[in-house]
Amino acid sequence: MTLHRAVRCDTDGCLALFVVPPQLGPDAAVYAARRAGWNVTTSGITARCPACRAGTPVLERGDCPYCCGRTHHISGGERCEYCGHVESYPDDDGAELVDDVEDQEQHEHGQDDVEQLLAAARAEGGVRP
């Protein structure tokens, strides 16, 4: 069983979570949460989600990658009811398909996203090498 790091909102009654890939350490998890709109203190002790910062705490869990709030269908994607994040549907033209099996496995596990996030965090000094 793989364990994931997560940042949870400290607002009373808010169910928001920001779940990061298991490859990321604590510093990178805080950095990723900040990039997703979370207000996280330097020590990582307190956090407020993007929904609470906008005045609407997350009351129902769903599929939003930024706060785990409930989403609803809009033209071309899904929109979070709480933080407002819009996740676009993949194109039907097959542009997202990866030919190489190794690339496909990395794509499925989010490895490309993790590596890009770590590189950006190191460039900004958000993660220790």
Q: Is the pLDDT of residue 111 over 50?
A: yes
Residue 12 lies in a domain: yes
> C-alpha distances in angstroms, 120 versus 44, 55, 103, 106, 115?
19, 29, 21, 19, 9
Can you list the positions of beta strands (E) in the chain? 5-8, 17-20, 39-40, 47-48, 71-74, 77-80, 86-88
pLDDT average, residue stretch 55-73: 93
Contact 36, 50 (CB under 8 A): yes
Q: Is the pLDDT of residue 78 over 50?
A: yes
Residue 109 lies in a domain: yes
Report d(CA 11, CA 2) in Å as an integer: 27
Q: Is the pLDDT of residue 69 over 50?
A: yes
Q: Is the pLDDT of residue 103 over 50?
A: no
Range of the domain at 24: 5-123
Between residues 27 and 92, the one the model is more confident about:
27
Between residues 112 and 129, the one the model is more confident about:
112
pTM for the model: 0.64
Q: How far is CA 17 from the centre of its chain?
A: 9
What type of residue sits at position 15?
Answer: L
Residue 32 lies in a domain: yes
Residue 89 lies in a domain: yes
**How many domains would you assign to the chain?**
1
Report d(CA 12, CA 73) in Å as an integer: 28
pLDDT average, residue stretch 55-64: 93
Residue 38 lies in a domain: yes
Q: Is the pLDDT of residue 106 over 70?
A: no
- Between vectors from CA 35 to CA 19 and to CA 124, what angle results, nearest 5°? 120
Residue 22 lies in a domain: yes
Residue 42 lies in a domain: yes
Residue 31 lies in a domain: yes
Q: How far is CA 108 from the centre of its chain?
A: 16
Q: Is the pLDDT of residue 127 over 80?
A: no
pLDDT average, residue stretch 70-87: 91
Q: What integer pLDDT is reported at residue 99 of this predicted model?
A: 42
